[in-house]
Amino acid sequence: MVFSSIIFIYYFLPLLLIAYYVLPRKFRNIVLLIFSLAFYFYEEKNVVLIISCIINYFLGRIIGKNKNKLYLALGVIINVTILGYYKYSNFFIENLNNIASVNITYLNVILPLGISFFTFQNISYLVDVYRGETKAQRSILKYGTYITLFPQLIAGPIVRYKDVDKELSDRKENFDDFANGVKRFVIGLSKKVLIANNIGNMCVILNQLASKTILSHILQAIGYTFQIYFDFSGYSDMAIGLALMFGFHFKENFNYPLIATSITDFWRRWHISLSSFFRDYVYIPLGGNRVSKIKWIRNILIVWLLTGFWHGASWNFILWGLYFFVFLLLEKLFLNKYLKGGIFSHIYTLIIIIFSFVIFNMPNLSSIGEFIKNILGMHNLQFANRETLYYLRNYITLLIIASIASTPIIKSIMKKIQGKKMLNRLIDVAEPICIVGLLTICTASLLSNSFNPFIYFRF
């Protein structure tokens, strides 16, 4: 089940809201746990989520009592082993077969939904308990609710236990949070359905052109960037909005990353929960930047190898991580003194980002090379032809909308308007109408369009 589906919006969510708010408060975590498991197992058949949850609950209790590094190491090893078995075992077998010319049989494993996210949440919980940053949860019901909480279960953001610990026990739902949650959900749904899906469809069309051009490749590369940004940030918006409806306050996961003026700045704004996880649980424990230059470079390399590999068991993701490692290292060593903001820094950053998502989206290394050669005009392609210009005309308005929506321009305008009393009253009336209108348009789009992928579900 996905958030951008009729069954979720008009069946699952209303039924959950009724059960949650009608039943006595003491049953609310039970309601969330039951519905979260129903949400997860609607399509998933693997029980590794439940097994992982139970194991980490008891490990947390043990670590909370003993503060023994061996128990923490055991917990991390168990979680990484489970993730490695399901996500990476066949990748290693494939490469071993190719390198050693052997024929090891592939394992019959299917990647459980959301395993990369709930594994990292379990690890962060165990580490925080060991560090004394949070107390071990005594109630398996509350811990199970934390791990299985449906807004963040399948595609994040990575929510740390210490950030929702108090709300698991004593949260205060109120009308303002609920209303803001609905608004945030509909905005995220609109980003996903109206922008990401349509730009994704453009990319599919451009990829299937019989006569491709340099311009078609440029449009495709820009399209990949917009698609994944609006797909994943839209999902994060929906997750944050849904959490607000039930009294939880998740941290922001995106902060307009496409306005960044350096790659360092980009990763402060993009998938914040993932980059902060690697910073706090890998980079800093390795010594961060308080070590020799060689070890510091090693630390950065490890973080970005893991970041790439976390996204998928494929060489293109590893290359994607290494690609960012190179530019981040160059910036830290000498480029930052030239990146002072402004148009040059922004153009530099956008070019690096757009090429990164070519690497991210291509199925293998050879197709990455071919695409980059085509976009750079190394295969003597025409710059444009009639077919490419036709699709450019068809999608230019959507691309302009996506460009504006990826910046804080609209947010800034709204803040200025809200500072004026007369206009603020108008917004109070117009905003609910706009939200209902967006939800109606999204519903119509979902009913009429079967193209509705969620990119980050595969991670």
Whole-number Å distance between alpha carbons of 412 and 190: 19
Whole-number Å distance between alpha carbons of 439 and 6: 11
Sequence-separated (6 or more) residues with CB below 8 Å from residue 175: none
SS3 4: coil
Burial class (CB in 10 A: 0-12, 13-18, 19+), 212: buried
Whole-number Å distance between alpha carbons of 26 and 326: 52
Whole-number Å distance between alpha carbons of 398 and 299: 41
217 part of the active site = no
Whole-number Å distance between alpha carbons of 214 and 234: 30
Cα atoms in the Cβ-side hemisphere of radius 13 Å centred on 252: 8
DSSP string, 193-239: IIIIHHHHHHHHHHHT-SS--HHHHHHHHHHHHHHHHHHHHHHHHHH
Whole-number Å distance between alpha carbons of 17 and 8: 12
Catalytic residue among 249, 311, 346, 379: 311
At 61, list the tokens.
Answer: 């209790």
Whole-number Å distance between alpha carbons of 458 and 122: 19
At 106, list the tokens.
Answer: 């592939």
At 82, list the tokens.
Answer: 């489970």
- Measuring CA to CA, how many Å separate 180 from each of 129, 191, 241, 249, 310? 32, 16, 7, 11, 32
Which residues are annotated as catalytic?
311
